[in-house]
Amino acid sequence: MGILSQRVERSEIKAGDHIYTWRAVFTYSHHGIYVGGSKVVHFTRKKDSEPSNLNPDPLPSSCPTFPDCGFQRPDSGVILTCLDCFLNKGSLYQFEYGVHPSVFLAKLRGGTCTIAQADPHETVVHRAMYLLQNGFGNYDVFENNCEDFAIYCKTGLLPLDDDQGIGRSGQASAVVGMPLAALLSTPFKLLVGGPVGMATVTAGMYCAGRYITDVGVRKDVMKVEVEHLAAHLGWRESGGERDLIDLGEDEEAVESEVVVLEEEEQLDEEEENRRKKRRII
């Protein structure tokens, strides 16, 4: 178990493992699920999307070893590649699950481990292969990236509330958390002396921020079966909650109108009865 990350040899990984490799001199890491046979399923931009600096991971153009390397549906960002193309000459690392909170906080980089427990390997491979055929929504560097994809395949966990602007990714939490920790620690300059004390406070806030946003600690996550995931993602992307609220308001309005009509009918009947009584008199 490394302090920064867990480097492994190819012979050590097995189908269902969450693997990753560092890009651009340890600037960021790219994640995927090893499905066996030297193949990796991972998440990137769609074929027809424009290249972006926020998602700079290159798509394989051709592979002389595996004919199906680079398989990707046109409307999906989930792709199957060989391990060599996934690594792109980088080293191989394994994402750790079920780590103790003290170990999690000791890791200096986000996106290397989680407190959450992993599901059985056959379940993980099933999720990855199912999403290869059905997609994983739209790529978003903060809310739905390659690490989010791999974590979902390993745990089946998804956040209920997507208004926080952050998904399950430890990398995204770290990117957002470092400047935020520096900002929040500014008032403590009056309480701590010197740059060492300030750095200690900032580091503490940074680690605390990473901890409370970890998928294994967050309370706003739930298990979502992969067969129901497409509907779940589509519901969120199409504003399904808002549609449901609107529908509920419409139903309430209709019910109110029915009550009013029934009251009017009752008044009409009473008025008709009174008229009949006058005629009899």
Annotated catalytic residues are: 30, 42, 146
Give me the count of residues in the chain.
281
The token pair at 123 is 């379940």
Q: Is the dihedral of CA 211, 213, 216, 217 positive or negative?
A: positive
Could you tell me the end-to-end alpha-carbon distance of the chain, in angstroms, rounded to an integer?
100
Of the candidates 107, 86, 72, the residue with the CA atom closest to the CA atom of residue 1:
107
Q: What is the DSSP string of 125-194?
A: HHHHHHHHHH-----BTTTB-HHHHHHHHHH-EEES--TTS--S-HHHHHHHHHHHHHHHTGGGGGTS-H
DSSP letter at 81 equals: E
Of the candidates 119, 149, 130, 125, the residue with the CA atom closest to the CA atom of residue 29:
149
Q: What is the DSSP string of 47-79?
A: TTSPPBTTB-PPPP---SS-TTTTEE-TT--EE
Residue 72 phi/psi, 5-degree rounding, is: -160, 130
CA 129 to chain centre: 18
